[in-house]
Structure 1
Amino acid sequence: MLENEANPYLSKTTRLPRKRFYRARAHSNPLSDAHFPVPITPSQVDYSLHFPQLFPSSDQDASSKKIQFADIGCGFGGLLISLSTLFPRTLMIGMELRDKVTEYVKERVLALRIANPGQYQNISVVRTNSMKYIPNYFEKGQLSKMFFLFPDPHFKEKNHRRRVISPHLLDEYAYTLEVGGIIYTITDVEELGAWMKTCLEGHPMFEVLTEEELDVDPVVKLLNSATEEGQKVARNGGQTFKSVYRRIVPKV
């Protein structure tokens, strides 16, 4: 379909999928039931479906390279695209709950692979609810980076339990992150920024990165600019609030 010149879902100039055909509600309720396949264990994640050039057979070697970066609520995939060329040897995946947005990212990645042979083979996307199924996808200490960029603020106090950063969810994120792994968060909502910072500061398995460390981390520069939401905030002259923390061994 992507190679069909008459395909109306593709831009005639860039050959990338057109967002207007994949628009969806800005946010979804992560506590509601959704129907999609979920692996029972991380060993059941079929890497050949996500990275066919790197894993041409579904018979995966247990010692094969694993996904290291996870973009939680990846939206239209802008961060994944930027990270792909910055870390070409690293496997990474976006996790998105909205079906139309997930389909857009799939089509976008496929189009980029076709237009740039040999590139963008290290990124993929899966439709899932990361608040429920993170341990189904990643082993203990598997990830080196996790991203939570412009998550749903869920303003009402009764809906704070839907927030993707919370003390009990940080337990799961700490489980899947290796010691030294980094969790990146950013929002344009000051109250949510304070909430995420408080949750991370209060968790015994995370410590904040210093300003010096942030200055030399190339990923930090992408937090504002790589996503559609970040670009919108920048166009409107909005302020953003970042919290970047390292997974540590808790002090006894």
Structure 2
Amino acid sequence: MAPVKKPTVKKDKKQKREEYRAAMREEGVSSLPRKKFYRQRAHANPFSDHQLVYPPQPDQMDWSTLYPDYIAKDSQEIRAEGGSSDSEAAIPKRLTQDVEVADIGCGFGGLLVALAPVMPQTLVLGLEIRVSVTQFVEDRIKVLRHQNAETGGYRNVSVLRANTMKFLPNFFRKSQLSKIFICFPDPHFKARKHKQRIVSTTLNSEYAYVLKPGGIAYTITDVPDLHEWMVQHFEAHPAFERISEEEQDADPCVEIMRTATEEGKKVERNKGQKHVALFRRLEDPDW
């Protein structure tokens, strides 16, 4: 009697993704992650409850887990004054320097990876709301750090899952940042969706709050209508002025922004146009 063959159970895409990501989280993985195992919907509703973890205020943010190579030598976790050790949360370890550059909606991390060697002395943070995409960038940075262990490369970049439309001031103090990048944001074409655009009168006030005077907000998109929208709202804000094209073209970050992001590469392949505009944070007036 012929032996009975056991039926082969095919793994669905979700199982394959989970197994691949689990393998990527193991120590010693040296190959860069593959995007197909981290795919997720391109759109996320910023007004939905995404079960995010965020600090009540910037001083309570634990940056040491994101930038372990920048922990101050004399830093240690201590209990906040005025409360018992059982009821009061630990004050996080201090870093030797602050995060200065933020990439809002960093996607798959192309800009972060490109900026890391260009700004080796600056801490750069990517902010992304989608779970799988954030995990891709985490795994990508982890592998790059492993591959560049001898030179210490990519220690200055990290990624954080966050909803910047709601919680940006929870992470950054007033005038902490020198640069904010807004690269190929969701255009939200329908008029009723315009309230979800990452550039607006209200949000520009938050960008002005976290940017230091002289700091720059970088924007790029392949959608002319969205470009006009962002220019209109930034120019209408009293805390910003648009940077001239001559100064814009001389900024090395602009070329990186044009060519390093995944969306920028896709626009290039499709022979599309990229619309760039930079805005400088003005000094606060003497009231």
TM-score (norm 1): 0.92
The letter of the residue matching 1:134 is: L
The alignment covers a number of residue pairs equal to: 246
Q: Which stretch has the larger CA shift, 37-46 or 134-143?
A: 37-46
Distance verdict in 2 for CA 1:227–1:58, change over 3 Å = farther
Matched with 1:72 is 104
Match of 1:180 among 204, 210, 214: 214
Distance verdict in 2 for CA 1:34–1:8, change over 3 Å = closer
In 2, the alpha carbon distance for the partners of 1:235 and 1:196 equals: 24
* TM-fit CA distance, 1:80: 0.5
Indicate if the aligned counterparts of 2:30 and 2:146 stay in contact, CA closer than 8 A: no
In 1, the alpha carbon distance for the partners of 2:276 and 2:234 equals: 12
In 1, the alpha carbon distance for the partners of 2:284 and 2:210 equals: 15
Matched with 1:123 is 157
Matched with 1:206 is 240
2:53 paired with 1:37:
yes
In 2, the alpha carbon distance for the partners of 1:142 and 1:205 equals: 15
Indicate if the aligned counterparts of 1:50 and 1:124 stay in contact, CA closer than 8 A: yes
In 2, the alpha carbon distance for the partners of 1:76 and 1:58 equals: 33
Q: Which runs of 5+ in 2 are unaligned?
A: 1-19, 78-91
How far does the alpha carbon of each residue in 1:25-58 deviate from its partner, in whole angstroms, 9 at most, with x for none? 1111111111021111111111110011222766
Distance verdict in 2 for CA 1:161–1:190, change over 3 Å = same
2:197 paired with 1:163:
yes
Indicate if the aligned counterparts of 1:152 and 1:163 stay in contact, CA closer than 8 A: yes
The 5-angstrom pairing of residues 7-22 of structure 1 reads: 7=23, 15-22=31-38
Indicate if the aligned counterparts of 2:116 and 2:156 stay in contact, CA closer than 8 A: yes
* TM-fit CA distance, 1:8: 7.3
Distance verdict in 2 for CA 1:251–1:41, change over 3 Å = closer
2:41 paired with 1:54:
no
Matched with 1:143 is 177
SS in 2 for 1:94: strand
* TM-fit CA distance, 1:251: 5.8
In 1, the alpha carbon distance for the partners of 2:189 and 2:278 equals: 22
Distance verdict in 2 for CA 1:88–1:245, change over 3 Å = same
Indicate if the aligned counterparts of 1:186 and 1:240 stay in contact, CA closer than 8 A: yes
The letter of the residue matching 1:246 is: R
Q: Which stretch has the larger CA shift, 48-57 or 77-86?
A: 48-57
State the identity as a percent.
48
Matched with 1:238 is 272
In 1, the alpha carbon distance for the partners of 2:96 and 2:167 equals: 22
Matched with 2:130 is 98
Matched with 2:143 is 111
How far does the alpha carbon of each residue in 1:72-124 deviate from its partner, in whole angstroms, 9 at most, with x for none? 00000000011110000000100000000000000000000000010100011
The structure with the larger Rg is 2
In 2, the alpha carbon distance for the partners of 1:189 and 1:216 equals: 23
Indicate if the aligned counterparts of 2:25 and 2:139 stay in contact, CA closer than 8 A: no
* TM-fit CA distance, 1:7: 4.0
In 2, the alpha carbon distance for the partners of 1:87 and 1:155 equals: 34
In 1, the alpha carbon distance for the partners of 2:189 and 2:224 equals: 11
The letter of the residue matching 1:15 is: S
Matched with 1:85 is 117
Root-mean-square deviation over aligned CA pairs: 2.2
